[in-house]
Amino acid sequence: MNPDEDGSVGKPVNRETDPGKLVQSFLTPSQSNPKSEDKPQLVAYDRNHGPIQHLDASTHRLTIKSDSSLSSAPNSKYILPQPLSTVLTLSDLSTKFDRVSITCALQCAGNRRHEMQERLGEVSGLDWGDGAAMNAEWTGVRVRDVLVHAGLRPLTPRQTDGDNEDMEHDEEFESQYEGLHVQFACTTQPTQDDDYYGSSVPLFLALDPERECLLATHMNGEALPARHGFPVRAIIPGVIGARSVKWLDSIVVAGEESTNHYQRRDYKILPTEADNSTEKANEGGRDELWDHVPAMIDNPINSVVAVPGRDRDVVSRDGNGCVHVKGYAIPKGKDGPVVKVEISLDKGHTWYEASISDGGDEYYNTRHPGNSNDTGKDKAGRAKFAWALWDVHIPCEPGDDVSIWSKATDRGGNTMSVEQAEGSWNLRGVGFNAVEGRRGIKIV
């Protein structure tokens, strides 16, 4: 597809790069290199529910408001002493706030849907392979700083000393934000299922200093291309791509989630009994079903086998009798970085630890010994939300019908399920993170 195509509501631009190409670069380029002879070229995936917007940065306005639904949240009057009503230009964003860079993976919740469908049964949604993910350096301003500028007052966490108390304390602190959400929208973009594109995250998450949620104007050091949200998009680290709203023109602090289709009627892991043939998923019960299932927030921990790139591929062993397996892994939510990736060619009897060639702890320690971004802030966040590229040579005999399993573990201790190595099915085919990365591989 021509990358300059804008798409339409009926035919939005959706495309992915072959995973084998994706793992060639720690940062995924936003534009293809015009000089490259390689086809298909390595570029970040595109996911659009409507036409790509072409906006003029000099006239673009970002409106920040609060709405009447707030009154239902217990602490709203402390956090928002006055209703919010601020309009910012792009020049306000670049002059009034700290500039922050963060390296973070962005992944569509539908990544790996094709595998789920092939192995576990029909699902509804775009037929994504394993390339609906990217890793980029995003630069912009903190959502937190902008909300504070607009008049929001974050609660101050109580100081604690004991480690044991910290967890409980976190939960207690988070609960004080109960019922409060930040809704992000691009109000000008008509979409396939709604008049505009919108999404939301809990206010606590948007303000979390560890999360560094951004209003990003730059990707990999360059102004965002139109396709990825020029002149400004939300970047919500650790959270499914759907919440990182492109062409952002509206932020509303509210007492409920965004009412947009893509928050309430999509991007949910429906229970396994909800299939297209059940009455529940069809007419009457459908609303009730969707209303009772929570909207997806955090990315699940995930690892993708990128080389070999397809089920049933034929793979040659090298001179040492080894097969070369490569991939990428993404931590769960804010529990990164990925600290370990293990690979098995015999359904979990023997595991080999892959080396993390880029992205994990080692990446952080070797590349960022000092603190040197624009604001002088510690750079620990760079690896925490990034993907990890991994690589391993595994000794093996020739064989047919070999499965390649890959299992990632992050710093928070989250790991992928070996008990359910084939993964589990849901109607919308979202959040697939099966350990079984490839099957039916022939090793010669």
- Between 76 and 183, CB nearer to Mo ion: 183
Identify the residue among 42, 242, 248, 325 touching Mo ion (CB under 5 A): 242
Which of 89, 136, 103, 100 has its CA nearest to residue 231?
A: 89
- Between 205 and 441, CB nearer to Mo ion: 205
Task: For residue 402, list its beta bridge partners.
Answer: 441
Contact of residue 46 among ligand MTE, Mo ion, none (CB under 5-8 Å per partner type): ligand MTE
108 binds Mo ion (CB under 5 A): yes
In the complex, the smallest distance separating the C-beta of residue 432 from Mo ion, rounded to whole angstroms, is 13
- Between 108 and 203, CB nearer to Mo ion: 108
Contact of residue 186 among Mo ion, ligand MTE, none (CB under 5-8 Å per partner type): ligand MTE
- Between 64 and 325, CB nearer to ligand MTE: 64
Which of 387, 48, 402, 103 has its CA nearest to residue 247?
A: 48
- Between 213 and 345, CB nearer to ligand MTE: 213
Distance between CA atoms of residues 269 and 93, nearest Å: 36
- Between 141 and 242, CB nearer to Mo ion: 242
Contact of residue 443 among ligand MTE, Mo ion, none (CB under 5-8 Å per partner type): none
Contact of residue 246 among ligand MTE, Mo ion, none (CB under 5-8 Å per partner type): ligand MTE
- Between 50 and 337, CB nearer to ligand MTE: 50
- Residues binding ligand MTE (CB under 6 A): 44-50, 106, 108, 186, 189, 197, 228, 241-242, 244-247
Q: How many CA atoms does the CB half-sphere of 219 hold within 13 Å?
A: 25
Antiparallel, parallel or unpaired: β 314-315 and 436-443: parallel
In the complex, the smallest distance separating the C-beta of residue 438 from ligand MTE, rounded to whole angstroms, is 24
In the complex, the smallest distance separating the C-beta of residue 19 from ligand MTE, rounded to whole angstroms, is 15
In the complex, the smallest distance separating the C-beta of residue 188 from ligand MTE, rounded to whole angstroms, is 9
Q: How many CA atoms does the CB half-sphere of 75 hold within 13 Å?
A: 18
In the complex, the smallest distance separating the C-beta of residue 76 from ligand MTE, rounded to whole angstroms, is 27
In the complex, the smallest distance separating the C-beta of residue 105 from Mo ion, rounded to whole angstroms, is 13
Of the chain, the end-to-end C-alpha distance in Å amounts to 35
Contact of residue 364 among ligand MTE, Mo ion, none (CB under 5-8 Å per partner type): none
In the complex, the smallest distance separating the C-beta of residue 402 from ligand MTE, rounded to whole angstroms, is 32
User: Does residue 337 have a cis peptide bond before it, meaning omega lies within 30 degrees of 0?
Assistant: yes
Which residues contribute to the site for Mo ion (CB under 5 A)?
47, 108, 241-242
